Structure 1
Amino acid sequence: MDFTQFDSRKASEKPRALHLKHPGTGKLLYDEDDKTKPCRVLVLGIEGATGQTSILESQRARMKEDRSAGEPVTVESIHANLVKDFAPLVVGFENISRGNKAAKAPDDVEWFLNLQVVNGNRAQKSFVEQVRDFATDRAAILGNESAS
């Protein structure tokens, strides 16, 4: 068996398509309900150089924040950190518009990831949570179509 097929570090640098789900209902999203046009984002995996750099930069920024130990963290702050961590991993959009224009990476990535705020409901995942789950799903990044 050729074990290079399990090189998730290398595979993480190849964009994979995440078919988005409605953040309220969990149903797969399509452009104008046309089942031939899934609404997808192209995502890099967390294990590649891009993902590792993104996480490292976010951690360094958080270390510089002036926050006392034990001080509560707001949901907005948690969400903002997720956006910082995962925005660099979104490299494209398919069948997603911002108004009457097609969404483009990197220009529209933060707008897209900030359309909802994390709410703790596992059945109602925000777009940034969906991207996080996909980017950290080794099966999805290795190309297993049944993943995520």
Structure 2
Amino acid sequence: MCPYIYTSSTINRQATDKQKMFIHKIAIVVLSLIPLGFALKPFDMVQFIVLVQASMVASFFFATVVIGLNWKRATGTAALWSMAGGVITVVMWFILDKPFGLNEVIPGVLVSTILMIVISFFTKPVPEDSLRPFFDDIK
């Protein structure tokens, strides 16, 4: 996914395969440090980890899957921002100790959905040729 973000945004659209591989290797190293952090400072409750992980997954994928598969106007850029915004909201909501007593999944999914819809309207629509295999009403 990191090479896709790197090449689809304004960072470097003409990235070579070597550059994409380098970004991919960096992403693997960075993402492997997260479980290492959990291993060095373990939590007392496994249930806590499972609940936060479930909230992150819900906020990460809900809008992207439900809206992205059913709405022709949804774009890839909106999906990326939606996923990032949902996860960041879950983390911030957890750090802020669940304001208003709401579980972190509720604001996470809400922010993710809003970002998906709003950013889709401000980005270039997906070409009809790309949508044709997924929607029967496009001729």
Q: Larger C-alpha radius of gyration, 1 or 2? A: 2
Q: Compare the two structures and name the one with the higher helix fraction.
A: 2
* RCO comparison, higher one (Cα < 8 Å, 6+): 1
Q: TM-score, normalised by structure 1?
A: 0.27
Q: Compare the two structures and name the one with the higher strand fraction.
A: 1
